[in-house]
Every structure is written in C-alpha cells, then in structure tokens.
Structure 1
Amino acid sequence: MQPGTLTRPELTLADRCDRCGAAAKVRAVLPSGGELLFCGHHGRAHAEKLKEMQAQVLNG
C-alpha cells in the first residue's frame, strides 16, 4: 500500500446518495479525508466540481 492511500470498503445496497437517497454508485474522497456518496446521476452532475476540488472519485 502506498503512503497516504486508504482502503475503503466496497459500496453496498445500504450505501445511499448524499443528495437524493438513491443507491450510491460513486464515492468521492475529498482531500480533507471526508467522503461523499452519490448515485450515478448526481455523480455525473457534480463530476466537474469534484475534479476541481481534486477529489478522488471511485465508481463502485
């Protein structure tokens, strides 16, 4: 494992989108260490802003 790299669990059916409550398909890990979960729709809608924030985006 690389320094500074964290292992995150796979998304499950219990994981829900932080915007609408649908099943989470995307995990965005923020530079601060926090994370956001999004459905596919909201993951795409916020993709550009997440990129600007240098968030690590993982499709689950």
Structure 2
Amino acid sequence: MQPGTLTRPELTLADRCDRCGAAAKVRAILPSGGELLFCGHHGRAHADKLRELEASVETGS
C-alpha cells in the first residue's frame, strides 16, 4: 500500500442503498472523496452519471 492511500472495507449486509435502503451492491467513490452506496438497480440507473463525474465504481458480491 502506498503512503496516504486509504482502503475502504468490503460491502456487508449492513450496508444499504442511499436511494432505497436495499442491500448495497455498488460503491461509487466520488473525486471529492465522498462515497455513495447503491443497490444493483440504482447502480445501473446512475451508471452514466457516475462515469460523467469520473467516480470510481466498485461492486460487491
């Protein structure tokens, strides 16, 4: 790991979608450092905008 690099924990069943409250399957890390969690449905629905914002997208199991 490089100095100053932060790692984020794996998504768990306790992580919930910021849009609807379902189990989170997608983590979008914004360039500002903030993050959004989405279920699969909302992750797909917002995928174009997240790419436009140059967010880093991670998917959980």
Q: TM-score, normalised by structure 1?
A: 0.92
C-alpha root-mean-square deviation of aligned residues, in Å? 1.2
Q: TM-score, normalised by structure 2?
A: 0.91
Q: How does 1:38-53 map to 2 (within 5 A)?
A: 38-53=38-53
Q: How many residues align structurally?
A: 60
Percent identity of equivalent pairs:
87
Unaligned segments of structure 2, at least 5 residues: none
Tell me which stretches of 4 or more aligned residues in structure 1 moved more than 2 Å.
Answer: 1-6
Unaligned segments of structure 1, at least 5 residues: none
